[in-house]
């Protein structure tokens, strides 16, 4: 191996030449159909594994979940351990995706969609900048097969690569981003550093990868910004921003209706980016930069489900889960459940259940429970 090869050993793929030959397709790692979540080899919600695009294509995969164990955050560190936690921290449910049913819609997402775990993108643990092309390549690898990439973060700097890769594929003007966050993530730099978890939106806009008007933000409330200068930059670039103050004033359902209308004002394809700190720390203590006064899971979950059902979502991420700060597993549980709601929305869209705010009429009490 050359010196340069040794420096970039983190991106050298495993040589599978000596592995037994097999037909391409998803690999189910379970020994038994029904097994407790704390047994076996952890994959996201017990889904099969794919190793390369040939597996994705052969399996007709709709959604490929993969990790980006990246951590460059200010605040508390630890988001690099988020992907592993979201795969393995289920405490009591069985990891049998075929049996999972959404309580609000009575839709079983894993019966409608072919969902797999695609492992992790290659990361240079010493350089976010060097990691970004690898992340972008993995996103493209999934998207090029027609599957939806669902990214387990990792910190929010990964959005530079994920949204940038999809904008390159679909066209910058055609991508809309719904950004759930307590913070604007629009800074030009953080302490002089331009590639951080607080700068992805600035970079995507200033590098002409996504127009500012295609960003819709929900849940901002930090006392550290945006200051007047940054607020003016956001307004000049056309960002649609919904602070928690607006949510408090008119209610979350009304704001969500506005968000869906705004993100469909031009873009054809939608990307969802969920910084888990958009939730109040009562529900998400395990994150690097918690901010009091945030959303509740009862607000977030239907929002994720509605966006995936009522818009054309072609990618999503859930970032900034720091499991070492999560003593009751609350943060990880809510992050994983948000993804489950998103998968439910994708399954609803595929099944034609796209009416605004669809709920199962029996579960929602609109009709009486039938007698048998």
11 within some domain: no
pLDDT of res. 198: 78
335 within some domain: yes
Q: Where does residue 142 rank: exposed (0-12), middle (13-18), buried (19+ CB within 10 A)? A: buried
Q: What is the CATH number of the domain that holds 291?
A: 3.40.800.10
Report the Cα 23 to chain-centroid distance in Å. Answer: 30
29 within some domain: no
Short-list 305, 313, 352, CA closest to 147: 313
User: Which tens digit of pLDDT belongs to each residue from 37-50?
Assistant: 888 899 999 999 99
pLDDT of res. 119: 98
Q: How confident is the model at residue 319 (pLDDT cuts 50, 70, 90)?
A: very high
DSSP 187: -
361 within some domain: no
User: Which tens digit of pLDDT belongs to each residue from 240-298?
Assistant: 999 999 999 999 999 999 999 999 999 999 999 999 999 999 999 999 999 999 999 99
Query: Does residue 298 sit in helix, strand or coil?
Result: helix
* pTM attached to this predicted model: 0.95
Cα–Cα dist 261/242, whole Å: 13
Cα–Cα dist 317/126, whole Å: 22
What's the whole-number mean pLDDT along residues 151-180?
A: 96
User: Which tens digit of pLDDT belongs to each residue from 177-203?
Assistant: 999 999 998 888 777 777 888 789 999
Short-list 337, 321, 368, CA closest to 152: 321
Q: How confident is the model at residue 20 (pLDDT cuts 50, 70, 90)?
A: confident
18 within some domain: no
Short-list 216, 270, 260, CA closest to 239: 216
The overall longest dimension of the chain from CA atoms, in Å, is 73
262 within some domain: yes
Among left, alpha and beta (phi > 0; psi -120 to 50; other), residue 75 is left
371 within some domain: no
Cross-strand pairs, 65 = 117, 150
Helical H segments across 99-199, by residue range: 109-112, 128-143, 158-170
Short-list 27, 108, 117, CA closest to 63: 117
Cα–Cα dist 56/27, whole Å: 11
Q: How confident is the model at residue 157 (pLDDT cuts 50, 70, 90)?
A: very high
pLDDT of res. 224: 81
Helix (H) / strand (E) element for 301: namely helix 297-310
What's the whole-number mean pLDDT along residues 58-75?
A: 91
Report the Cα 361 to chain-centroid distance in Å. Answer: 29
pLDDT of res. 33: 87
Mean pLDDT of the chain: 93
133 within some domain: yes
Residue for token pair 């976010």: 128
Query: Does residue 168 sit in helix, strand or coil?
Result: helix
Structural contact between residues 204 and 210, judged by C-beta atoms closer than 8 angstroms:
yes
Q: Where does residue 88 rank: exposed (0-12), middle (13-18), buried (19+ CB within 10 A)? A: middle
Residue 191 burial (CB count, 10 A): 8
Task: Give the tokens for residue 221.
Answer: 């409330």
User: Which tens digit of pLDDT belongs to each residue from 91-148?
Assistant: 667 778 988 999 999 999 999 999 999 999 999 998 999 999 999 999 999 999 999 9
Give residue 324's domain range: 42-351
Domain count across the chain:
1
């Amino acid at each position: 191996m050359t010196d340069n090869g040794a420096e970039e050993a983190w991106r050298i793929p495993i040589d599978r030449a000596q592995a037994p030959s097999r037909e391409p397709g998803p690999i189910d790692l379970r020994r038994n159909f029904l097994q407790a979540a704390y047994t076996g080899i952890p994959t996201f919600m017990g889904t099969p594994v794919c190793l390369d695009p040939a597996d994705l294509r052969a399996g007709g995969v709709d959604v490929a979940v993969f990790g980006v164990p990246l951590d460059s955050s200010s605040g508390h560190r630890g988001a690099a351990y988020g992907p592993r936690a979201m795969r393995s921290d289920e405490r009591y449910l069985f990891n049998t995706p075929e049996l999972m049913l959404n309580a609000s819609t009575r839709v079983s997402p894993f019966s409608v969609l072919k969902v797999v775990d695609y492992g992790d993108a290659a990361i240079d643990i010493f350089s976010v900048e060097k990691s970004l092309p690898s992340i972008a390549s993995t996103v493209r690898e999934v998207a090029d097969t027609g599957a939806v990439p669902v990214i387990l973060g990792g910190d929010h700097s990964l959005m530079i690569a994920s949204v940038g890769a999809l904008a390159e594929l679909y066209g910058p003007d055609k991508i809309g981003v719904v950004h759930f966050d307590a913070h604007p993530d629009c800074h030009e730099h953080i302490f002089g550093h331009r590639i951080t978890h607080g700068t992805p939106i600035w970079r995507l806009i200033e590098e002409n990868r996504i127009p500012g008007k295609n960003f819709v933000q929900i849940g901002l409330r930090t006392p550290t910004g945006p200051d007047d200068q940054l607020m003016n930059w956001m307004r000049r670039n056309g960002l649609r921003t919904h602070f928690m103050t607006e949510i408090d004033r008119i209610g979350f359902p009304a704001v969500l209706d506005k968000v869906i209308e705004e993100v469909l004002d031009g873009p054809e394809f939608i990307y969802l980016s969920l910084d888990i700190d958009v939730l109040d720390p009562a529900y998400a203590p395990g994150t690097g930069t918690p901010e009091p006064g945030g959303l509740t899971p009862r607000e977030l979950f239907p929002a994720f489900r509605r966006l995936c059902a009522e818009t054309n979502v072609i990618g999503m991420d859930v970032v900034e889960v720091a499991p070492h700060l999560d003593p009751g597993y609350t943060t990880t549980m809510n992050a994983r459940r948000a993804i489950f709601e998103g998968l439910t929305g994708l399954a609803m869209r595929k099944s034609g259940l796209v009416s605004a705010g669809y709920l199962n009429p029996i579960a929602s009490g609109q009709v009486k429970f039938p007698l048998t």
